[in-house]
């Protein structure tokens, strides 16, 4: 079995090397590991770092970890970067990994467990049921509100719809057409999973949230876009 780790990157020069190292050494047992990175036209040196990482991957083989990098010729958004990456994944399972240090690859084993036991085809890592560094109050309110709307519209009981850590069997994600280009990828894929009557399994994860002065990019405008996405895909495919 192989796990494809999809990493969208946009101006994460301060953290991209460290997160790649963490992903490479993350213990997932005897499962193969594939890293698929898409740089979304970074302008802060991330692109150059990734080119160095490509060379490192070729020379050292990275303990059999397959490493692929693709580059957008213009900035298109997180959803678009994930969509590009999905065209190149070859794993049986796919997980999304942000290029900052908010999410810990050490949690991969926890996310994999329900799938390997045959309990789930989709697993979300919940930031609200595990250990975490507290986020700002209004960020917490926004996340909880969007999750509540998801539960009302799709008759479910998620605790964290907006989590980055979404682990899916490849046949699930390949069967979903993603249209969103920005952060509304999260509500769109959740809505389409639930409309297929696929139950989402949640496990607690650790979370170290960052704020805008540390490079956080999502804004209140993205919250309104997420809300509209949830409502729209409740009634259209």
Residues in the chain: 237
Task: Report the candidate in 155, 196, 188, 150 with the shortest Cα–Cα distance to residue 172.
Answer: 196
Q: What is the DSSP annotation of 149-206?
A: HHHHHHT---S-TT-S-EEEEHHHHHTS-----STTHHHHHHHHHHHTTPPEEEEE--
pTM across the whole model: 0.91
Q: Worst-scoring range by mean pLDDT, 54-63, 90-99, 109-118, 126-135?
A: 54-63
* Beta carbons of 93 and 170 less than 8 angstroms apart: yes
* Beta carbons of 27 and 3 less than 8 angstroms apart: no
Q: Is the pLDDT of residue 58 over 70?
A: no
The pLDDT, as a whole number, for residue 218 is: 62
Domain boundaries, the chain: 2-235
CA atoms of 173 and 38, how far apart (whole Å): 17
pLDDT single digits (tens) 216-226: 556 667 678 99
* Beta strand pairing call for 132-133 and 93-96: unpaired
* Beta carbons of 181 and 80 less than 8 angstroms apart: yes
- Mean pLDDT of the residues in the chain: 90
More confident site: 143 or 5: 5
The pLDDT, as a whole number, for residue 60 is: 46
| CATH architecture of the domain with residue range 2-235 | Alpha-Beta Complex (3.90)
pLDDT single digits (tens) 63-102: 568 899 999 999 999 999 999 999 999 999 999 999 999 9
CA atoms of 116 and 218, how far apart (whole Å): 33
The pLDDT, as a whole number, for residue 219 is: 66
The pLDDT, as a whole number, for residue 189 is: 97
* Beta carbons of 3 and 28 less than 8 angstroms apart: yes
SS3 for 146? helix
The pLDDT, as a whole number, for residue 111 is: 98
* Beta carbons of 160 and 186 less than 8 angstroms apart: no
């Amino acid at each position: 079995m192989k796990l494809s780790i999809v990493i969208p990157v946009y101006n994460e020069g301060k953290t991209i090397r460290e997160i790649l190292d963490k992903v490479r050494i993350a213990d997932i047992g005897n499962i193969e590991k594939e890293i698929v990175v898409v740089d979304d036209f970074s302008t802060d040196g991330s692109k150059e770092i990734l080119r160095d990482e490509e060379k490192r991957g070729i020379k050292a083989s990275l303990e059999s970890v397959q490493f692929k990098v693709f580059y957008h010729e213009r900035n298109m958004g997180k959803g678009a970067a994930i969509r590009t990456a999905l065209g190149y994944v070859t794993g049986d399972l796919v997980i999304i990994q942000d290029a900052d240090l908010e999410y810990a690859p050490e949690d991969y084993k926890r996310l994999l467990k329900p799938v390997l036991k045959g309990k789930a085809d989709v697993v979300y890592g919940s930031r609200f049921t595990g250990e975490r560094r507290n986020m700002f109050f209004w960020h917490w309110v926004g996340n909880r509100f969007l999750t509540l709307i998801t539960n009302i519209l799709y008759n479910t009981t998620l605790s964290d719809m907006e989590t980055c850590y979404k682990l899916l069997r490849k046949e699930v994600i390949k069967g979903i057409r993603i249209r969103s280009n920005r952060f509304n990828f999260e509500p769109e894929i959740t809505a389409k999973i639930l409309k297929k009557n696929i139950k989402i399994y949640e496990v607690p994860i650790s979370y170290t949230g960052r704020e805008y002065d540390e490079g956080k990019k999502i804004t209140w405008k993205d919250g309104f876009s997420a809300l509209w996405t949830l409502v729209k895909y409740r009634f259209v495919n």
